[in-house]
């Protein structure tokens, strides 16, 4: 049948897509077999990123498609909650960090192939900067063998002598992640339910040894957080030994463990050898001698800016030592001594620090029995101080009048500080 365009009301040029569009659609369809991307113009790249299937294997896309829409689509498809601001505003970083975390969190020793992790390394090592591991699984337990008359015979024949590791072995991974800056670890099992055993919430000696080695090999690490993992003095010392002189470590968080004075001494040594800026030892078992070791390190040209010793047992022996150390040159700005059974002598030691106004900006003494006299000493000191902009004296048995005076000074200084900042930013 003859057809004349002019007579055909359905005819429209739009129906014929551009050849270039057809080509792009074909590229999108056949991306897995023939990934053409680098040669495209930015507009064409955007077209492909918008339409490419998120199930194209990672070994094709990982090092080819840059950060942006494609990775945003991949993330939003996998996870309901996606806050890209937590990942340096990089969707690609989010995708690979969460992917890696997921693999490690589901890793079962002697069951999962280590290639499951190592296979990801070449794909993700350029994008993974932080790993936040919220669980580490133990090996599957062999069922207890029946004790029978052949028991000993069987045991001697059986080559199997326990699992080859207790949790995922970071030693195979960390030296390969060449951009890793932050590592948050907790040795625990989520939703263990009725299978609960204390062992599930413990880092073993063997874990500790391999982790320590791994940390030493990770030269880019800036922040290490290893909390709630049953670390006592021995493990703390093992870790510190491998972290001494670490080139980039700036922040260390061993909160909610079982570290005592011997571990604290090791930490003191770490402070003099590394350029640590933030130390969090909250909720451990540090007493006077341990605090003295940390104080000694503080007074020796330490670079520490923030020190958190909340919920330990420093008592006045430790509190006074910290106070004395702060009289020497140091860089500390934030100090937390909450819940440490410190009393009047510590308050007096700290008031000497406050009078001689140095760099201290915030101090938290809550939940200590400072008493009325301790409070008076602090009040007197604060009348000379112009640096403190945060001071917590709740539950310290300090007289209400002292507290309200101290708060007034703090608020004045706060508002003056804010004004100064506002002026500074205006000047810029
Ligand atoms: C201070 O630290 C240095 C290492 O940075 C060390 O050699 C020196 O002995 C320390 N001084 C004191 C008094 O501990
Ligand atoms: C701190 O460092 C300075 C110079 O770096 C040095 O002169 C001083 O002795 C050091 N102080 C201590 C207590 O090590
Ligand atoms: C502390 O530092 C100041 C200035 O940097 C210096 O004048 C003073 O001598 C130092 N004091 C001590 C005890 O090192
Ligand atoms: C405390 O700080 C103020 C303002 O920064 C300064 O004028 C004063 O000299 C300082 N006092 C001492 C003892 O360093
Ligand atoms: C802090 O407060 C005190 C008391 O109100 C005041 O004398 C002092 O000037 C304030 N500090 C600064 C930095 O202005
Ligand atoms: C002081 O420490 C307690 C306990 O950690 C905390 O609840 C409180 O907010 C802290 N105070 C300030 C001013 O940060």
pLDDT at 8: 75
pLDDT at 264: 97
Does the Cβ of 359 fall within 6 Å of ligand 3?
no
CA 424 to each of CA 360, 418, 420, 427, 428: distance values in angstroms, whole numbers, following the listed order: 21, 10, 6, 5, 6
Considering only CA atoms, which residue is closest to atom 3 of ligand 4?
386
| Residue-wise pLDDT tens digits, 263-281 | 999 999 999 999 999 999 9
pLDDT at 160: 60
Does the Cβ of 356 fall within 6 Å of ligand 4?
yes
Looking at beta carbons, which pairs linking 99-105 to residues 24 or more positions away fall under 8 Å?
99/124, 100/124, 100/128, 100/131, 101/131, 101/132, 101/133, 101/134, 104/131, 104/133, 104/136, 104/168, 104/173, 105/133, 105/134, 105/135, 105/136, 105/137
Tokens of 45: 């790249």
| Residue-wise pLDDT tens digits, 208-257 | 999 999 999 999 999 999 999 999 999 999 999 999 999 999 999 999 99
Does the Cβ of 272 fall within 6 Å of ligand 1?
yes
Query: Which ligand has an atom closest to residue 296 CA?
Result: 1
Please state the pTM of the whole predicted model: 0.86
Query: Which ligand has an atom closest to residue 272 CA?
Result: 1
Distance, CA 408 to ligand 5 centroid (Å)?
Answer: 9
Query: CB–CB of 398/373 below 8 Å?
Result: no
Q: How many CA atoms are closer than 13 Å to the CA of 80, on its beta-carbon side?
A: 0
Nearest to 307 by CA among 343, 270, 348, 341: 270
**Separation of first and last alpha carbons in the chain:** 76
Query: Given the CA of residue 310, which atom of ligand 6 is nearest to it?
Result: 5
d(CA 186, CA 171): 16
Segment 31-52 mean pLDDT: 94
Residue pointed to by tokens 């308050």? 347
How many other C-beta atoms can be found within 10 angstroms of the C-beta atom of residue 426? 7
Q: What single-letter DSSP state applies at residue 419?
A: H
Length of the chain counted residue by residue:
428
Confidence of residue 24 (pLDDT cuts 50, 70, 90): very high
d(CA 154, CA 141): 18
């Amino acid at each position: 049948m003859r057809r004349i365009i002019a007579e055909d009301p359905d005819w429209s040029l739009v129906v014929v897509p551009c050849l270039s569009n057809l080509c792009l659609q074909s590229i999108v369809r056949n991306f897995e077999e023939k990934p053409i991307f680098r040669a495209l113009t930015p507009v064409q790249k955007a077209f492909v990123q918008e339409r490419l299937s998120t199930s194209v294997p990672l070994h094709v896309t990982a090092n080819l498609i840059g950060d942006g829409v494609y990775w945003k689509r991949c993330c939003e498809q996998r996870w309901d909650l996606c806050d890209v601001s937590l990942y340096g505003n990089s969707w690609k970083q989010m995708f690979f960090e969460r992917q890696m975390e997921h693999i490690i969190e589901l890793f079962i020793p002697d069951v999962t192939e280590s290639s499951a992790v190592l296979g990801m390394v070449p794909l993700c090592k350029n994008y993974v900067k932080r790993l936040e591991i919220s669980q580490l699984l133990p090996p599957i337990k062999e069922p207890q063998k029946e004790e029978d008359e052949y028991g000993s015979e069987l045991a001697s024949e059986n080559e199997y002598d326990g699992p080859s590791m207790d949790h995922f072995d970071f030693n195979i991974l960390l030296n390969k992640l060449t951009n890793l800056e932050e590592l948050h670890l907790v040795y625990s099992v989520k939703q263990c339910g009725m299978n609960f055993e204390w062992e599930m919430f413990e880092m073993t000696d063997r874990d500790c040894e391999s982790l320590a080695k791994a940390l030493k090999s990770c030269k880019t690490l800036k922040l290490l957080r290893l909390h709630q993992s049953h670390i006592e003095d021995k493990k703390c010392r093992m870790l510190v030994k491998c972290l001494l002189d670490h080139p980039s470590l700036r922040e260390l968080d061993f909160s909610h463990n079982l570290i005592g004075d011997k571990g604290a001494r090791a930490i003191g040594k770490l402070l003099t050898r590394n350029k640590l800026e933030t130390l969090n030892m909250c909720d451990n078992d540090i007493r006077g001698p341990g605090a003295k070791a940390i104080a000694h390190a503080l007074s020796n040209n330490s670079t520490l800016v923030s020190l958190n010793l909340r919920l330990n047992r420093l008592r006045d022996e430790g509190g006074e030592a910290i106070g004395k150390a702060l009289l020497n040159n140091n860089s500390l700005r934030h100090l937390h001594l909450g819940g440490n059974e410190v009393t009047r002598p510590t308050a007096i030691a700290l008031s000497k620090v406050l009078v001689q106004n140095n760099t201290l900006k915030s101090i938290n003494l809550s939940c200590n029995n400072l008493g009325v006299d301790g409070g008076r000493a602090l009040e007197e000191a604060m009348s000379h101080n112009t640096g403190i902009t945060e001071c917590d004296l709740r539950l310290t048995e300090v007289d209400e009048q002292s507290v309200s005076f101290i708060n007034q000074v703090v608020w004045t200084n706060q508002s003056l500080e804010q004004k100064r900042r506002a002026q500074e930013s205006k000047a810029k």
